């Protein structure tokens, strides 16, 4: 693992690191904020999964999360959204290929050799963190924005017991019924829609639910709200009688101005679960 940068940040350290990924067959970069408490021993972890077109850097710089993570003594992990490199397949469209991994393990060419983001996030990167940093993986929570909200919700529900809490900012809630989903799931997983079910938060909510608290915020002026389909997930939550808080925030759009506005509340929400 290579240290690309480390900066003092709210009494802790904001680092950026690169390592050779076996699952993605390329070098991967991630950001990690460690609060002051990590110098004394392992601290709980909050994963932040970013959205379309993002790298590890977007949320690390724009979300304003480190101040609140420092207040609660929580580590923040900012993974990349896709594999990178000259040999990695890409597409001219912004919503497929690099920056648009959708947190799945691709089975179709030309994506399969590198686009193994589910395994990378859920298996490989946790091992990297566990062996290199003072993090307590028995206390994990997960959040994300847009495509990352989709990833956070699906991982939380598909991996029972892994995460103490899950939240999302403007998640892609029902990708099997959205153009932000059907296109990518077809490309990465093939035309058999039965293989898509495990990557749809609405369908997973109907089937599995989540054994813990859920918080979801979406802006009423989100320019992509029809692609996000928050009402489908709301109906699934109501039908399952899932413990959850869903909020439509008046006037807010899809930007990091929206994310940063409600980050403090999301951090406090996860802190309550991680320190329960």
Active site residues: 146, 222, 254
With contact defined as beta carbons under 8 Å apart, do 159 and 184 qualify? no
**CA–CA separation, 172 and 39 (whole Å):** 37
**CA–CA separation, 243 and 238 (whole Å):** 9
DSSP strands (E only) in 103-156? 135-144
With contact defined as beta carbons under 8 Å apart, do 156 and 150 qualify? no
Instruction: At 138, list the tokens.
Output: 């028995």
Instruction: At 152, list the tokens.
Output: 């956070």
Using alpha carbons, select from 115, 38, 21, 107 the residue that is nearest to residue 75.
38
Q: Which residue has the tokens 């996860």?
A: 270
What are phi and psi for residue 54, nearest 5 degrees? -85, 160
């Amino acid at each position: 693992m290579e240290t690309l940068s480390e900066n003092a940040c709210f009494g802790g350290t904001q680092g950026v690191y690169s390592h050779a990924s076996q699952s993605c067959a390329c070098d991967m970069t991630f950001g990690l904020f460690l609060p002051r408490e990590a110098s004394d021993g392992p601290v709980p972890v909050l994963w932040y999964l970013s959205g379309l077109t993002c790298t590890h850097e977007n949320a690390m710089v724009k979300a304003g999360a480190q101040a609140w993570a420092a207040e609660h003594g929580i580590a923040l992990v900012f993974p990349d959204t896709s594999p990178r490199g000259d040999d990695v397949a890409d597409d001219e469209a912004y919503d497929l290929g690099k920056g648009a991994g959708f947190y799945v393990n691709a089975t179709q060419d030309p994506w399969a050799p590198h686009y193994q983001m589910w395994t990378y996030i859920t298996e490989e990167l946790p091992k990297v963190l566990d062996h290199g940093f003072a993090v307590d993986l028995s206390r994990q929570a997960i959040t994300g924005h847009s495509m990352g909200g989709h990833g956070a919700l699906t991982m939380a529900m598909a991996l029972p017991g892994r995460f103490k809490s899950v939240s999302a900012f403007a998640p892609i809630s029902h990708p099997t019924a959205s153009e932000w989903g059907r296109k990518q799931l077809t490309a990465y997983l093939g035309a058999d829609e039965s293989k898509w079910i495990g990557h749809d938060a609405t369908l997973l909510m109907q089937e599995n639910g989540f054994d813990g608290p859920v918080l979801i915020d979406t802006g009423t002026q989100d320019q992509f709200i029809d692609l996000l389909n928050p009402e489908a997930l709301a109906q699934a939550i109501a039908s399952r009688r899932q413990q959850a808080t869903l909020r439509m925030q008046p006037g807010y759009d899809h930007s990091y101005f929206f994310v940063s506005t409600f980050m403090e509340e999301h951090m406090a929400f996860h802190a309550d679960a991680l320190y329960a």
